[in-house]
Structures are given as structure tokens and as C-alpha cells.
Amino acid sequence: MSATSKKKKASSAQLKEYDEDWKNPMKKPFLEKIVLNIGVGGGGEELEKAVTVLEQLTGKKPVKTISKVNVKEFNLRKGRPIGCKITLRGNDAERLLKRLLIVNNNKILQKSFDNFGNFAFGIDEHIKIPQTDYEASIGLWGMDICGRITRPGMRVKYRRKRRTKIPRHHYVSRAEAQYFLKQNFGVGVVKKLDLEYI
């Protein structure tokens, strides 16, 4: 048996293991949230345009991100707004993620995942998102999208009272996160993005 066939056999066995684990409701992962972020580098009119873009996409009000350090080279001062972001959870997050993935032909790079259930990808022009129209007064904006896949019970790590450590096996691994997105969102995980434009 060749090394390639052995590898395929091992990966298929691992996928069956995930399906078996997911029969336990406490082991079945879910999309906890997605965060959309636009970095502007400063405040003023440009920042308001970025805020408008996120409002139109999500129907909710974004929050402005604040600079935490002084960077003289970029004319950044601590405490000043430099961008905006918005967090979506539940059904809103799932619906929007499906729209956002279409921009990259439902593909995500392998290196965009970590070993804790997080993934991220970028969009260079927001008008590529379906159901989004171009407005000359706003212009074109790129954004970062970060998502987190977790299991039930993870809130004990972040709650205010009686926080508890989470064992390593309860986190969603890189391979499991990729399998989850493939099963639930039809995502293809690739080494390189070859986008096709019509």
C-alpha cells in the first residue's frame, strides 16, 4: 500500500470518528460567532463610511476600534478610533457567513485555521458580496472575517464567576474545524486560492 493511500485511509477513519463523536450533544461543534473588521487607520469621514458598510451588510450597529499604542510613523495616537468591527452570533452569523464565502468560491486556505477552532479570511472589495450594491459616496472597502467554532460548555472559561480551565481535548482542532465547515457550509479547504471572475 502506497503512502498516499495510507494517508487517505487514515483521514477517512478520522472523519468517521468525528461523526461518531458528534452524536454526543456536548461534543458536537457549532459556529459560535463571526467578527467583521475594517481597519481604516484614522477617524473622520473615512471611518464613518466603513461603519456604513458594516451597517448595510449586517443591519446592526458596529463599534469603533480604538488604538492601544502610539505609532509615530503611522500618525497613530493612543485612544483614537482607527477602525470598526461587528460581531454576529447564531442564525445571523450563519446566514452572513454563507454570503461571505461565495466571494472566494466557498474556499478557505489551509493556513487560515488554528488548533482552537478559529478561522479567518479576507475580502478585498465589499461589493463582491452578493446583494451588495456599489455606492460612489462610500467607495470600495475590504474587510477581515474571523470565525470561531466551539462546543457546548466553553462559556465556563469566560464567565465572570467561578471560571474554569477547559481541557485540551474539548477544543475544536484544525482538522475538525475544516470538516465542520465542509459538512455545514460546503467549504473547500485549499492550499492556494484560484478565484474565477465572471
10 pLDDT more than 60:
no
Which candidate, 119, 110, 94, places its Cα nearest to that of 184? 94
Q: What angle do CA 37, 39, 44 make, to 5 degrees?
A: 120
User: Per-residue DSSP letters for 80-131?
Assistant: SEEEEEEEEEHHHHHHHHHHHHHTTTTEEEGGGB-TTSEEEEEES-GGGSTT
Q: Name the average pLDDT for the chain.
A: 88
How do strand 107-109 and strand 188-190 relate by DSSP bridges? parallel
How far is CA 21 from its chain centroid? Answer: 24
Give tens-digit pLDDT for 119-161: 999 999 999 999 888 889 899 999 999 999 999 999 899 889 9
Residue 59, amino acid: G
6 pLDDT more than 50:
no
Question: Could you tell me the domains of the chain?
Answer: 18-190 (3.30.1440.10)
Q: What pLDDT shows up at residue 58?
A: 92
**Exposed / middle / buried, residue 64 (Cβ in 10 Å: 0-12, 13-18, 19+):** middle
User: What stretches of the chain adopt beta strand conformation (E)?
Assistant: 30-39, 63-66, 81-89, 107-109, 118-123, 143-150, 188-190
Q: What is the pTM of this model?
A: 0.85
Query: Which residues are CB-contacts of 52 (< 8 A; sequence separation ≥ 6)?
Result: 138
Residue 83, amino acid: G
